[in-house]
Structure 1
Amino acid sequence: MTTAAYAAIRRHTHWGVVSVVVGAGIVTGIQVGKAAIATPMLQADLGFNLTAAGWLTGIFAVLGLVGGIPAGTLVSRTGDRRMLVLGLGAIALGTVMGATAPGYPVLLASRVLEGLGFLLVTVAGPAILNRMVGDGQRDIAFALWSCFMPAGMALVMLAGPLFGDWRTLWWGNAGLAAAAIVAGLAIVPAATARVSVSWRSAASDSLRVLTSREPILLAACFASYSLMFFALFSFLPVLLMEQMAIAHGTAGLLSSVATGANIIGNLAAGYLLARGISRPALLAGAYLIMGLAGIGIFLQVFGGTPTLALCILFSGVGGLIPATLISSVPLVASSAALAPVVIGLVMQGSNLGQVIGPVAVGGATGIYGWAAAAGIVLIAALIATVAAMVTNFDDSRIR
């Protein structure tokens, strides 16, 4: 595609495409959250402990630890719509595999396949938006995209307890993924031109990104956020049931409210960034508030209602972070062609935190109690604050 043709497309924003892409993202967010809300069902049916539940959530992201950059490279060479549809297909197959799993090992393997789909969708989605969204609406569109995780998790937290058992919940999710595939094929246009596959070029692109300071810092920021978020929300229904002595359905409802607050933060980030607020200041403030709120939540020094309020604060303020980081990718990529590769690296950071958070908290809590999670979250907050403050976000590079 010529530069002039690319610019002509980017003058207008195709909001129908944005809606489908965000919807596909929400489907992937539901797959993340379903393990958390299904934990009590899985404990009753398969005899899970919190460590096993943590791995069921964490292993979902394990392919993203090493596959983000290769996925970003493939997206730029084989087509973002194709990768979106393949990702949704992997989610559908993995969910069916999980629904029919005879025990924990197969269920765990099915989560790896779902995680592959998650990786492809979360790398292809921003690439499609970058192609279809006009420059003036970039921050708004990416703020909407960054809502996919909390929106999907909030929906499944709310709806999950309504299912009779966890297998029915899995089957329902397979149907959602199939519907998203149809919508993607019908509404998202394929790129008019793609770069031919060259593994030498792909390796060169990856090396350029991996040796660039700002993309590495951006990935570190996302890893820290993801660790903090999933350290809490992978176990929030269980924590609330223990803290407030409430039923599973009520815990799901309250978890949905807390998770949904993250959406407000994501949208607020788009508003604030469009008005020129400093990205490092926005990120650093959000990380510090999350760290302090996490101490109050996990140490359980307050009653049930104040703890829930802290969860909402943790989630809402935290929502400022992913929207800011994702919309910053074009600012730190050395060229437009490398933007999907940088997105892949950032998603590797996200997946790293998504693996470490549930596994570390599940293991530490089983040994030392919930207080151990407070230290994990606080350390991650401090590391992220430093990384955000030293990152150079060059606003003059918005294309």
Structure 2
Amino acid sequence: MSTVVAFVPERTSLTAVTAVVAAGMVAAMQVGKGLIAGPLLQADLGLDLTALGWLTSVFAIVGVVGGMPAGAMVAAIGDRRMLGVGMGILLLGIITGAASQNFTLLILSRIFEGFGFLLVVVAGPAILMRIVGSGRRDLVFAVWSCFMPAGMAIAMLTGPLFASWQAIWWINGLVALLSLLTIIAAISPSQSRPRPSAGGFHADVIATVKSRGPVLLFALFALYSLMTFTLSSFLPILLVALGTAGVLSALITLSNVIGNLAAGHMLSRGVGRGRLVITVATLMGAAGLWIFLSQSGDLLTFTSCVLFSAIGGLIPATLISTVPMLSPSPAPAPMAMGLLMQGSNLGQLVGPVAVGTAIEVYGWTSGAAFIGIGALACILLATTLDRALPVKEQKKA
């Protein structure tokens, strides 16, 4: 809470901002619970690794397909309303999953959860854009961008405390219900009415896709996600010699928060966004290559993973806070955010599958190629980021 207090502008409702960030964390917990509950699901439902993979990857599939449509729904129906609807759908999916007795119903529940997750993470930034002044958005979006690593880490750290996967689901359902009630009580609806014109939304979609800025952010986030999930998918293997791989993986994920908050501080002080992404991608590439290619001890590998995650956290906070600047106009900003989420989920979906296949065929060190290529492509694209910004922001950079 003290971190949020430090980053939220005085005139902004602290309660509303906290409710939005908490909703994002609750949504992210549903991703983390699928990872940590794997052994319990295997034992109870007899699921194989492929089935477990589907339970996790369904979130990414929904995100790749539904990012921009979710943004269009937020723009059409209203940010607060869609945040509540998203949390409600998430809650319905959790309850359905907790009562599931077979894989078919469980995967259906995860699709509901995935759609609810997507609405929450697209509507949340839209609310923050509305209630936070432009002068402090970098700081507040830095806090918001912590939702994914913080939520996943919470799920991974608390999951082992429960004896059954159903208990994990029911507890998450209770937390989601509390979040939904908080959203209703703490967040004010927008004073402006959403536009009902279908033609207007179609035009906004076309304008967003044709705009250089949102597409650039999509590509950068996809590359960042590719690098991040390339590594995180194999953390248990990397850390198995140290024991308690789940706890160490959670700590590595949580270290990402450091980078998120640091980005908000640096951007508010005028650090160039393109230069920041270039520097971070270079350091991530170096750390990732070291992790996959070196024969260092396990403790050094763990330290390198922490640095990779902490440094990498600077990128999502930078890209998310840049969305309002590069949206063609304020109206389609939620669609631009949805496009950004599609990039995030594309990297999350492609990375683990591609790297897993490469490692199987060519050996462990082939993972370094994905990190290296991803970092290089990110650097090259980031050289154009500052030029895509409005003129007044270019002068700051």
Task: Tell me if 1:371 matches 2:370.
Answer: no
Aligned to 1:99: 98
- What letter matches 1:343 in structure 2? M
| Deviation digits for residues 170-204 of structure 1 (CA, Å, limit 9, x no counterpart) | 22111111111000001011112222322211111
Task: Tell me if 1:273 matches 2:267.
Answer: yes
Query: How far apart, CA to CA, are the structure 2 residues paired with 1:300 and 1:268?
Result: 28
Query: How far apart, CA to CA, are the structure 2 residues paired with 1:182 and 1:205?
Result: 32
* 1:239 shift after superposition: 3.9
Task: Tell me if 1:195 matches 2:194.
Answer: yes
Pick closer, same or farther for the CA change 1:287–1:191 going to 2, 3 Å. Answer: same
Q: Contact (CA 8 Å) 1:297, 1:311: kept in 2 or not?
A: yes
| Deviation digits for residues 304-350 of structure 1 (CA, Å, limit 9, x no counterpart) | 11111111011100100010000001211121122112111111111
Aligned length: 384
- What letter matches 1:108 in structure 2? I
Aligned to 1:263: 257
Query: How far apart, CA to CA, are the structure 2 residues paired with 1:159 and 1:177?
Result: 15
Correspondence for 2:335 among 327, 330, 341: 341
Query: How far apart, CA to CA, are the structure 1 residues paired with 2:61 and 2:40?
Result: 24
Aligned to 2:310: 316
Correspondence for 1:394 among 371, 390, 397: 390
Query: How far apart, CA to CA, are the structure 2 residues paired with 1:305 and 1:274?
Result: 35
Query: How far apart, CA to CA, are the structure 2 residues paired with 1:170 and 1:26?
Result: 15
* 1:352 shift after superposition: 1.2
Query: How far apart, CA to CA, are the structure 2 residues paired with 1:186 and 1:45?
Result: 38
- SS of 1:328's partner is helix
Task: Tell me if 1:30 matches 2:24.
Answer: no
Q: Contact (CA 8 Å) 2:278, 2:379: kept in 1 or not?
A: yes
* 1:395 shift after superposition: 6.0
- What letter matches 1:193 in structure 2? S
Aligned to 1:385: 379
Aligned to 2:3: none
Aligned to 1:216: 215
Q: Contact (CA 8 Å) 1:50, 1:362: kept in 2 or not?
A: no
Identity among equivalent pairs (%): 50
* 1:48 shift after superposition: 5.0
Question: Which is further off, 219-228 or 43-52?
Answer: 43-52
- SS of 2:122's partner is helix
Query: How far apart, CA to CA, are the structure 1 residues paired with 2:163 and 2:47?
Result: 18
| Deviation digits for residues 102-124 of structure 1 (CA, Å, limit 9, x no counterpart) | 33343333222111011100110
Q: Contact (CA 8 Å) 2:72, 2:335: kept in 1 or not?
A: yes
Aligned to 1:358: 352
* 1:150 shift after superposition: 0.6
Query: How far apart, CA to CA, are the structure 1 residues paired with 2:104 and 2:237?
Result: 23
Aligned to 2:290: 296
Aligned to 1:206: 205
- SS of 1:114's partner is helix
* 1:293 shift after superposition: 1.9
Pick closer, same or farther for the CA change 1:118–1:175 going to 2, 3 Å. Answer: same
Matches of residues 97-246 of structure 1 in structure 2 within 5 Å?
97-241=96-240, 243-244=241-242, 246=243
Task: Tell me if 1:251 matches 2:245.
Answer: yes
Query: How far apart, CA to CA, are the structure 2 residues paired with 1:51 and 1:300?
Result: 30
- CA-based RMSD of the aligned residues comes to 2.2
Q: What 5-or-longer segments of structure 2 have no aligned partner?
A: 1-8
Query: How far apart, CA to CA, are the structure 1 residues paired with 2:107 and 2:362?
Result: 25
- What letter matches 2:318 in structure 1? T
Q: What 5-or-longer segments of structure 1 have no aligned partner?
A: 1-9
TM-score with structure 2 setting the length: 0.90
* 1:361 shift after superposition: 3.5
- What letter matches 2:188 in structure 1? P
